């Protein structure tokens, strides 16, 4: 149980960090060159999410896990495809939408 809580806290901190990176880019998303912090945080989110599922198995709520993991996979693909270039408008709004949707899905009781 302690290990799960530590992984959950790490997952939450990485999520907040990623959301902070997106919020910081709000007015300059199409001109500002990015580093790889967002990609690294996205990969950590995926890995910690998978670890939490492994620690909870077989009592896993797949109605939340599958869509949330899919959202973070799409976020990771967008980050990889954007590389070090500035985001396009569609990519930036997709990242924000998917990130907020994943957060909402995480806190909804099912």
Each residue's pLDDT tens digit, 47-106: 998 899 899 888 888 888 889 888 888 988 888 887 778 888 898 899 999 999 988 988
Q: Given a cut of 70, is residue 110 above it in pLDDT?
A: no
Predicted model pTM: 0.81
Q: Given a cut of 90, is residue 43 above it in pLDDT?
A: no
* Domain interval for residue 49: 2-107
pLDDT at 83: 75
- What distances in angstroms separate CA 69 from CA 28, 29, 64, one per listed residue? 28, 25, 8
Q: Could you read off the pLDDT of 67-82 as tens digits, one per residue?
A: 988 888 898 888 888 7
CB atoms within 10 A of CB 93: 12
Question: How many domains, in total, are found in the chain?
Answer: 1
């Amino acid at each position: 149980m302690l290990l799960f809580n530590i992984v959950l806290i790490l997952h939450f901190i990485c999520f907040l960090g990623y959301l902070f990176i997106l919020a910081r880019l709000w007015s300059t998303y199409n001109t500002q060159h990015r580093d790889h912090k967002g990609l690294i945080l996205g990969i950590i989110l995926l890995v910690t999410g998978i670890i939490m599922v492994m620690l909870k198995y077989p009592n896993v709520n797949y109605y939340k896990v599958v869509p949330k993991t899919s959202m973070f996979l799409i976020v990771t693909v967008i980050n990889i495809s954007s590389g070090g270039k500035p985001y396009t408008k569609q990519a930036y709004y997709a990242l924000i939408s998917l990130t907020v949707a994943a957060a909402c899905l995480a806190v909804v009781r099912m």
